């Protein structure tokens, strides 16, 4: 019986981790096949987050043209919409865990494609030309044009 008890703890941990990741991905499932998502993780007042917002503010029409939703997960506790609809705050910690980001990771930006896959990940803001170049090179985007 000792073997059974020793396996119970690791198995329950794996199940809990999978459930957390699945729940976070479910929060992005509502975007799948409809929107690309640029999600940023940052601490409150992070200057890189403000730089990313400032970079995207003048190109809202181009974000719409590319079906891009943009939001920020702040301190792993709340979600701020930047462009388009954002998940509820209760998804913040789940998203942080799903993308395997420790609380002290600093600024991180991820581009998630319409298929739900991470297409780009960096610890700095994405600049307009770079972001639009990545999206425009995607096979699904080429079919949209």
What three-state secondary structure class fits 95?
helix
The proportion of the chain whose per-residue pLDDT surpasses 90, expressed as a percent, equals 69
Domain 2-144 has CATH 1.10.3720.10: no
**E-strand spans in 43-107?**
68-74, 78-83
What are the tens digits of pLDDT across the range 96-115? 999 999 878 899 999 999 99
Query: Domain boundaries in the chain?
Result: 2-144
C-alpha span between 39 and 52 (Å, rounded): 11
- Output the pLDDT for position 90: 93
Task: Record the tokens describing residue 90, joined without a space.
Answer: 């209760």
C-alpha span between 139 and 113 (Å, rounded): 11
Residue 47: pLDDT over 80: yes
What are the tens digits of pLDDT across the range 60-106? 999 999 999 999 999 999 999 999 999 999 999 999 999 999 878 89
Decide: 39 and 95 in contact? Cβ < 8 Å. Answer: yes
What are the tens digits of pLDDT across the range 20-29? 344 445 568 8
């Amino acid at each position: 019986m000792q073997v059974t008890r020793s396996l119970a703890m690791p198995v329950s941990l794996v199940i809990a981790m999978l459930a957390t990741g699945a729940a976070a991905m479910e929060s992005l499932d509502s975007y799948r096949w409809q929107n690309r998502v640029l999600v940023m993780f940052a601490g409150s007042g992070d200057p890189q987050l403000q730089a990313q917002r400032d970079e995207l503010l003048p190109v809202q029409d181009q974000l719409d043209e590319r079906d891009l939703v943009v939001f920020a997960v702040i301190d792993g506790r709340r979600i701020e919409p930047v462009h388009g609809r954002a998940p509820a705050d209760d998804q913040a910690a789940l998203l942080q865990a799903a993308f395997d980001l420790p609380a002290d990771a600093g600024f991180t930006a991820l581009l998630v494609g319409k298929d739900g896959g991470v297409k780009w990940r960096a610890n700095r803001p994405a600049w307009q030309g770079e972001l639009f170049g990545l999206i425009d090179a995607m096979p699904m985007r080429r079919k949209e044009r």
